[in-house]
Structure 1
Amino acid sequence: GMVDEVKAGQHAAIGRNGTGSSYWFSGEIDDVAIWRRALLHSEVLHLFTSGTNGIPLQKNVMEIRTTGMEFTPNPTNLQFDVQVAHALLTADDLILQSSTNVAGPYINEDTSPAQDMGNNQYLFSWPVDNSTSKFFRVMNP
């Protein structure tokens, strides 16, 4: 799989081996987070131990199965699209959040709403700002 930055023209895979082989992850993924760099062991541990501090991430749980995800970095925007298997989901059900700290707090990025691309596929676009490192997550508020 990927062990370094995703460069222009490359694709990252979540839930399968990046070589395109048939080694698929057999289970469910609860949270997906994307960073611009590899996290240090201490950062992963801090994220794991901090959890949500007992605060639910959403009011009503809507089970969303991610069936595909693609990240496309370019000089001006980080774009990623999420494809889900949920017939009732709309672009209003997804929101991009960011934080300058891996453990939060996260804020809603209202200027980057989900774009409905059809066929249960949603696109987020975030302007690249090299002055501040940010951590992102997509939520069902």
Structure 2
Amino acid sequence: MGVDRTRLRVEIENEIREKAPEDPDVKRQTREFALEVRDYARMRALQDMDRGYATGHFVESIQIQRLRRWWRKTMPNWRIFSDDPKSHMLEDGTGDDAPGTHSPWGRFTPTPAYHTFAKTAFHFGGTPDGGVDEIEV
């Protein structure tokens, strides 16, 4: 009789799922990849933004965070995000100022959509999930 390939595949996958999350090489390599994604996002922000948006504060606000899924064993996951309160406006842009807001720059001063995180996700073969200003790897 032949080898039951499906059963063998499932056994191998289960062993990988069991051992890989605790493997120090996997942790190190996923962290290195998260740092690479973060650095690319910072570079995109510096290249694409103008009119003072790409300040050191915004660029430095792009950081990584380890996601810990305590309720189940998973592969090491990382979140690349910005903690700048303006980051969602820089990612998705803004419309015209609302009437009566008395903007010092005039009513027609929309912030363009720079899509820093979306461009970064596409660069690494991913997709921007939900149009938010963060990426999970």
TM-score after normalising by structure 2: 0.26
Greater strand share, structure number: 1
Greater helix share, structure number: 2
The structure number with the bigger radius of gyration is: 2
